[in-house]
Amino acid sequence: MIDFKSKVEQAIQRSSSYIRHTPLEHSPYLSALSGANVYLKLDNIQKTGSFKFRGAISKITSLSIEEKNRGVVTASTGNHGAACSLAMSLLGVKGKIIVPENVHKNKVENILNLGGEVEYYGDDCIHAEEKAQEISRTTGATYISPFIGRLDDIGQNGVNLIRDIKKVFSNYTNFKTKILAASIRSIEHVTEVAKAGADISTIPTKIFHQLYKHELTDKGLKIFLEDWEKSKQKI
């Protein structure tokens, strides 16, 4: 099982000198609405304007000198790319941000202004991710991402991570946390993360169609429709 406490402490130690320490503000409205004390972590004023800078700087500072020399690559449609660009600039690490060809120009300008190198590829984030992974495989650059399929890409078991997270939260019955599994790569991933305890999955359109499309299902449906036509019945 992953030692979350030590992992978090290591991440804090690596990144604390780079991140902006944002305030925690009590929300009277949400507290009254939920019947509990709700606090908001104002990471909208974090560097690059989102919490994603925390993950980017933590990941890149964790790389060895050799890994940093090989550079990094990632895919993004905005905030993640900006976060990685700033982290790379601060640490002197070369890298590339792959973005879809239809991404908003303001997002790209922000990435460029923070020092990142942009390459356009494909018409959605899935194609951009595939291109970034190809670059990682062929150049040795580290692919930066925290999701299930991407953890598997670097030899870690993303499904086991979901299982560990589920076990941690099961120790605290007052928590109403929902576990989201992202970057699903196969039908098997869908099944495995559900068995591991994920409540929600973000599934690419291609995989979603595969969930209901099967050779035997198509064959059976074809036979049924042909038989229905032959029967001349009407509903």
Q: Where in the chain is the domain with CATH 3.20.20.70?
A: 146-235
pLDDT band at 146 (very low <50, low <70, confident <90, very high): very low
User: For 4-30+42-145, CATH number?
Assistant: 3.40.50.1100
Tell me: pLDDT of 2 over 70.
no
Q: Which pTM does this prediction carry?
A: 0.64
* 141 Cβ contact partners less than 8 Å away, ≥ 6 residues apart: 70, 71, 72, 73, 95, 96, 135
**Of 95, 113, 112, the residue nearest 57 (C-alpha):** 95
CATH 3.30.830.10 at 146-235, yes or no: no
What does the pLDDT read at residue 201? 84
pLDDT tens figures, 51-70: 889 889 988 999 999 999 99
CA 121, 126, 130: angle at the middle one, nearest 5? 65
Q: Where in the chain is the domain with CATH 3.40.50.1100?
A: 4-30+42-145
162, 198 contact by CB (below 8 A)? yes
Q: What is the mean pLDDT of residues 26-36?
A: 91
Tell me: pLDDT of 204 over 70.
yes
pLDDT, averaged across the chain:
85
Alpha-carbon dihedral angle through residues 36, 39, 44, 47, given to the nearest 10 degrees: -150
- Region of 92 please: left (phi>0), alpha (psi -120 to 50) or beta: left
CA atoms of 220 and 147, how far apart (whole Å): 37
**Of 131, 137, 134, 81, the residue nearest 110 (C-alpha):** 81
What does the pLDDT read at residue 21? 92
Q: What is the mean pLDDT of residues 181-194?
A: 80
pLDDT tens figures, 97-132: 999 999 999 999 999 999 999 999 988 777 888 888
Select the highest-mean-pLDDT range: 69-83, 143-157, 191-205: 69-83
* Residue 54 vs residues 22, 46, 144, 197, 210: alpha-carbon distances, Å: 11, 9, 13, 26, 35
